[in-house]
């Protein structure tokens, strides 16, 4: 016999028909399952979103690390190249000045280019971090062509040498009627003053 739901006594569920009780239990069970699935689904969705965000963050970090590694590798190669160049330069720097021999070589170059020496004087040694240098004051007289050859051959000596404090003027002690170099002919005598600095390597660096 069919039972109208509106006729059920909600305060006395135990008196409900068996079929209604079973239906209510089934519906309640399905509702609980649905709510559980819905809540769990939302939780899993949040977890999935979190995992995706972490994956994207890790991907960006990985890309940054790869770029950094490539940059470090490039700088490492540059440092190695610079070290090789530095070592090659150091090999050219003698461990002693050998000033007497050097002055003799400079004198021979000057004489070989028909120059007249007015001054050839080494100054006091100057020390730096890992090397020392001695400036040599040079004053010579000759033609423009002779002076140019002298400088070229001096620069090609088998040791590092730098030049500074250049000054060229007509040789006032010669037969010169003008102080303007541009008005002189190619055979006019010129006086050249310069400082040639020679170097030696300090093993272990400067102890001072």
- Encode pLDDT of 96-123 as tens digits: 668 888 899 999 999 999 999 999 999 9
Phi, psi at 186, each rounded to 5°? -70, -15
pLDDT on residue 204: 61
CA distance 110 to 9: 131
Q: Could you tell me the two tokens for 160?
A: 């590092």
Answer positive or negative: Cα dihedral of 156, 161, 163, 169.
negative
Helix axis angle for 99-112 and 144-155, nearest 10°, is: 150
DSSP 113: T
Is 138:119 a contact under the CB 8 Å cutoff? yes
- Residues 144-194 pLDDT 10s: 899 999 999 998 887 778 888 989 888 776 554 445 555 566 678 899 999
pLDDT averaged over every residue in the chain:
77
């Amino acid at each position: 016999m069919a039972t109208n739901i509106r006729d059920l006594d909600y305060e006395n569920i135990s008196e409900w028909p068996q079929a209604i009780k079973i239906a209510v239990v089934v519906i309640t069970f399905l509702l609980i399952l649905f709510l559980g699935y819905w809540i769990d689904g939302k939780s899993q969705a949040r977890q999935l979103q979190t995992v995706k965000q972490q994956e994207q963050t890790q991907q960006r970090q990985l890309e940054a690390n790869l770029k950094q590694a490539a940059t470090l590798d490039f700088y490492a190669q540059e440092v190695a190249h610079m070290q090789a160049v530095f070592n090659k330069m150091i090999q050219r720097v003698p461990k002693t000045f050998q000033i007497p021999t050097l002055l003799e070589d400079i004198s021979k170059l000057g004489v070989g280019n028909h120059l007249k020496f007015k001054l050839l004087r080494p100054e006091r040694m100057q020390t730096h971090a890992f090397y020392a240098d001695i400036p040599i004051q040079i004053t010579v007289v000759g033609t423009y062509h002779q002076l140019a050859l002298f400088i070229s051959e001096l620069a090609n000596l088998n040791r590092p040498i730098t030049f500074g404090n250049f000054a060229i003027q007509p040789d006032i002690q010669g037969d010169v009627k003008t102080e303007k170099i541009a008005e002189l002919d190619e055979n006019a005598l010129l006086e050249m003053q310069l400082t040639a600095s020679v170097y030696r390597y300090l093993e272990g660096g400067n102890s001072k």
